[in-house]
Structure 1
């Protein structure tokens, strides 16, 4: 993934600077292919990323186009705007809360503090500004974008689904302890985490690992899910972590049960199918039980 606030550039993936000549660029690409090829012990996800980087800058025309776009405005980073009327008039999922809202607000506060008081900041989402910001700020914006992307997907699931965004799951009022989304539908009740670590990830003993993965995101997700389950008196069917398509191999990876909860990691493009089919080992929900769970959650849920 090369369009994220925290992702490496195509040049960084290939291990060169942006002013490298074409021959050296070609040598770097071949070296990175050997280093990352799965047959020689490399990481398959990184291998795919190297190939994608070469597609972006491997020819003079592609490289020129990429270089022109690197400093261009990226509208998808800006604050979400009201969408135009949809041609599709089918009922959408019931949604509550503002996806990515808390992280958007936090990013705006932090970026203004970082720039400094009295400094004019006409566009806090300017790509050059974002790229130069500390990693903590870029991660904040990247996660907001990830949450918004998930929200767009689940909204199209249809009227059989209800979704709550930015749900307070704290014990002491810390807004960081939140569930990005809760999704309720015929396939089950799921706690959903939307993440963007800025690059390929791996798995170890039921947890997500990677160069930029801090803490234990799966364990933390399950813990926050339990807070809501106890408070609302409901039983979750499973937990789901959503990642950008380029950062995970395969549409769905089942991690098995983590603290008794079935967990799956899914790419954004595979999320809709997973929520319709359900996570492996999860319990379906239907009839009056679905109505009862929705009522309990609606009474309990508080947004950050």
Structure 2
């Protein structure tokens, strides 16, 4: 389904027009499934995407429901789910807030009285505007996962740098991490420590994250144990991938659903902290960081 503001439609995934005949869709699915199957060297994330497209378009009833817009999402900010009696991580700042504000302002200029978060308006928005919303949603999902880590963790969201922003800084028993939440609208692979894929273009999110982490490290006089690129589950073939060291800082890419476990265990090979150092690092960060 339309799982991200940047998601390709199931027709686009299979490479057929919206008015394609059922047999044309069936042939396209078989070709795409063969080409993307992991057993023949295809990408696992792309193969899953093809299977989900077929689930939607493979029967007359599910295709008709999709074409009617049944089940299409509404991208307004969702209220966080109740945690019950469990205490959450301490957090500062608003994840994704400035991106949502900019999205609403830009889309509102041409959408008129229409709901800027409706699936139809989002689909019609220019790529750059959809990307703002996609990244805001990604940051919010990351913040929610961090919140459920518990009181041993502290997080800063939307950390202001000099003309720049670092999505998240997370401090916990396993170390200090800088995080960026991304959504490129489709599966990615890695080359030279950076993601590659149709939606990535020339972006270098890992290098950018390391650069921002180093700015924070100098300002707060702390050392990061690692940096983490967080992507939607459907866009990564594995739950976590170690990308190696970038300018002396260990980097990893992690599925969003695997983030909590990664932060609780720590990234293998990353610098850990403990004891009184945690309190000292928290004090330095609290004094140095400014959040949106």
Please state which band the TM-score falls in when normalised by the shorter chain.
over 0.9
* 8 Å contact from structure 1 (residues 2, 8) kept in 2: yes
The alignment status of 1:224 with 2:212, answered yes or no, reads yes
Instruction: Provide structure 2 residue ranges, at least 5 long, that are not aligned to the other structure.
Output: none
Q: Give the one of 96, 102, 107 matched to 1:100.
A: 96
The alignment status of 1:193 with 2:180, answered yes or no, reads yes
- Partner in structure 1 of residue 73 of structure 2: 74
- Partner in structure 2 of residue 234 of structure 1: 222
Alignment of 1:147-162 (within 5 A): 147-162=139-154
* 8 Å contact from structure 1 (residues 169, 225) kept in 2: no
- Partner in structure 2 of residue 90 of structure 1: 86
Tell me, in whole angstroms, the C-alpha distance in 2 between the residues paired with 1:274 and 1:20.
43
Tell me, in whole angstroms, the C-alpha distance in 2 between the residues paired with 1:41 and 1:97.
43
The alignment status of 1:203 with 2:195, answered yes or no, reads no
- Partner in structure 2 of residue 9 of structure 1: 9
The DSSP-based 3-state class of the residue aligned with 1:269 is: helix
The alignment status of 1:169 with 2:161, answered yes or no, reads yes
The DSSP-based 3-state class of the residue aligned with 1:179 is: strand
- Partner in structure 1 of residue 124 of structure 2: 132
Bigger mean CA deviation after superposition, 57-66 or 34-43: 34-43
Tell me, in whole angstroms, the C-alpha distance in 1 between the residues paired with 2:108 and 2:127.
15
Tell me, in whole angstroms, the C-alpha distance in 2 between the residues paired with 1:195 and 1:88.
29
Give how far 1:66 is off. 2.3
Give how far 1:34 is off. 2.6
Give how far 1:239 is off. 0.3
The DSSP-based 3-state class of the residue aligned with 1:78 is: coil
Tell me, in whole angstroms, the C-alpha distance in 2 between the residues paired with 1:187 and 1:68.
48
The alignment status of 1:257 with 2:256, answered yes or no, reads no
Tell me, in whole angstroms, the C-alpha distance in 2 between the residues paired with 1:242 and 1:197.
11
Tell me, in whole angstroms, the C-alpha distance in 1 between the residues paired with 2:53 and 2:159.
37
* 8 Å contact from structure 2 (residues 180, 228) kept in 1: yes
Give how far 1:120 is off. 3.0
Tell me, in whole angstroms, the C-alpha distance in 2 between the residues paired with 1:241 and 1:151.
14
The DSSP-based 3-state class of the residue aligned with 1:12 is: helix
Give how far 1:38 is off. 3.8
- Partner in structure 2 of residue 302 of structure 1: 290
- Partner in structure 2 of residue 18 of structure 1: 18
The DSSP-based 3-state class of the residue aligned with 1:241 is: strand
Runs of 4 or more consecutive aligned structure 1 residues displaced over 6 Å after TM superposition: none
Tell me, in whole angstroms, the C-alpha distance in 2 between the residues paired with 1:150 and 1:44.
23
- Per-residue deviation, residues 155-202 of structure 1 (Å, max 9, x unmatched): 0000000000000133xxx2xx21111010001100000000000001
- Partner in structure 2 of residue 179 of structure 1: 166
Instruction: Provide structure 1 residue ranges, at least 5 long, that are not aligned to the other structure.
Output: none
Question: Root-mean-square deviation (CA), in Å?
Answer: 1.7
